């Protein structure tokens, strides 16, 4: 009998401490925008008061299945991406947690197609009930489109040669449907690579981000957090690569200062909407125990008072 795939939650205590450190804890309403396998959610529920509430979001049907195991009247989950958190009432949340990226069970399940370490269907959808797979997109995309995706979302300097190799193989042999086949194509097109990194790493990251519109959804979710957070509520975001972290860092910086209208120099400025509280990286012990934590960066901000 197969053992269930395990997931170790990154920055578990640090994230929950930050989330529950603002106004409204422990009896406020909190949002876990990325339920995953429920590591953060279960600890949040342990520390919530009797009147506290936790609303979770996740696109992955397997995450929804796992969430059904939580028998707690204070908890509910929505089968939606976290950009939908803006549908919740204004100023209703005492905290929003976004743990970005991909969970270990998703990576380690060959059927999901996220990893080149196993041969499986080239899917990569977070929500397998909707949208097109990577294989379907690569079967139709042109060289220029593939190049742009791999360059912009994977920061891959060999994006052009990889895209040409993909289309050439597709033309010769038909659609690319497996993860190992794609990884082999990429390896043949990449001339040099950083020590210890598989040549396909950046390409697989890029295709996953693109097919799930991850960066666009992150932008929408961050904007939505300003709508749902009550004054004193916390925004906690854990990122796993530079593209995500850059968006989060710039968003917090943008809203952590007063905004003056240059067209009306004597008008009072728009007040700052967030106060940056810091940046946290996993410690050496956590990275040693869970190497996938090494790239994680957690940023924390607090919603300021809403102007009357």
Residue 7 is predicted with a pLDDT of: 65
pLDDT of residue 3: 43
Domains defined for the chain, CATH in brackets: 12-104+214-303 (3.40.50.150), 128-211 (1.10.150.170)
Which residue stretches of 255-293 are H helix? Answer: 284-289
Q: DSSP for 190-247, please give it.
A: -----TT--TTHHHHHHHHHHHTTHHHHHHHHHHHHHHHEEEEEEEEEEESSHHHHHH
Angle between helices 159-173 and 143-154 (to 10 degrees): 140
Q: Are 298 and 19 in contact (CB under 8 A)?
A: no
d(CA 80, CA 55): 12
pLDDT for 4 beyond 80: no
Q: How far apart are CA 83 and CA 87, in angstroms?
A: 9
Sequence-distant (≥ 6) Cβ neighbours of residue 214 within 8 angstroms: 100, 208, 244
Average pLDDT score, the chain: 92
DSSP string covering 58-70, please?
A: -S-HHHHHHHTT-
Give the separation between CA 189 and CA 298, rounded to whole angstroms: 34
Q: What is the pLDDT of residues 214-256, one digit of tens each?
A: 999 999 999 999 999 999 999 999 999 999 999 999 999 999 9
Specify whether the CB–CB gap between 230 and 94 falls below 8 A: yes
- This prediction has a pTM of 0.91
User: What pLDDT does residue 142 have?
Assistant: 98
For β-strands 229-239 and 297-303, DSSP reports them as antiparallel
Residue 242 tokens read as: 């530079």
- Number of other CB atoms surrounding residue 168 within 10 Å: 13
Query: Is the confidence at residue 2, as pLDDT, over 60?
Result: no
Strand partners, 259: 270
Q: Which of 31-40, 234-243, 260-269 has the lowest mean pLDDT?
A: 260-269
| Ranges assigned E (strand) in the chain | 29-32, 53-57, 75-78, 93-99, 229-239, 274-280, 297-303
Q: Are 36 and 103 in contact (CB under 8 A)?
A: yes
Packing angle of the helix pair 214-228, 201-211 (nearest 10 deg): 50
**282 phi/psi in degrees, rounded to 5:** -60, 145
Task: Tell me what pLDDT residue 102 has.
Answer: 83
């Amino acid at each position: 009998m197969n053992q269930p795939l395990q997931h170790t939650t990154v920055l578990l205590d640090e994230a929950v401490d930050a989330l529950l450190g603002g106004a409204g804890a422990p009896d406020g309403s909190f949002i876990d925008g990325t339920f995953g396998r429920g590591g953060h959610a279960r600890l949040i529920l342990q520390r919530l008061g009797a009147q506290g509430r936790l609303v979770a979001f996740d696109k992955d049907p397997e995450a929804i299945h796992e969430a059904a195991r939580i028998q707690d009247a204070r908890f509910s989950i929505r089968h939606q991406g976290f950009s939908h958190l803006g549908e919740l009432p204004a100023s209703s949340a005492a905290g929003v947690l976004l743990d970005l990226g991909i969970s270990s069970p998703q990576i380690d399940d060959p059927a999901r197609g996220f990893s080149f370490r196993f041969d499986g269907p080239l899917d990569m959808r977070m929500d397998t009930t909707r949208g097109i797979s990577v294989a379907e997109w690569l079967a139709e995309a042109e060289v220029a489109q593939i190049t742009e995706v791999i360059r912009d979302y994977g920061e891959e300097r060999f994006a052009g040669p990889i895209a040409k190799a993909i289309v050439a193989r597709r033309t010769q042999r038909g659609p690319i449907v497996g993860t190992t086949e794609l990884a082999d194509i990429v390896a043949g097109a990449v001339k040099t690579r950083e020590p210890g990194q598989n040549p396909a790493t950046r390409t697989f990251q890029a295709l996953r981000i693109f097919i799930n519109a991850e960066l666009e959804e992150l932008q929408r979710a961050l904007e939505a957090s300003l709508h749902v957070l009550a004054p004193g509520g916390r925004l906690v975001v854990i990122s796993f690569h530079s593209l995500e972290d850059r968006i989060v860092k710039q968003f917090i910086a943008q809203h952590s200062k007063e905004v003056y209208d240059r067209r009306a120099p004597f008008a009072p400025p728009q007040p700052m909407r967030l106060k940056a509280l810091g940046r946290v990286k996993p410690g050496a012990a956590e990275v040693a125990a869970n190497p996938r934590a090494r790239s994680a960066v957690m940023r924390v901000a607090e919603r300021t008072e809403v102007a009357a």
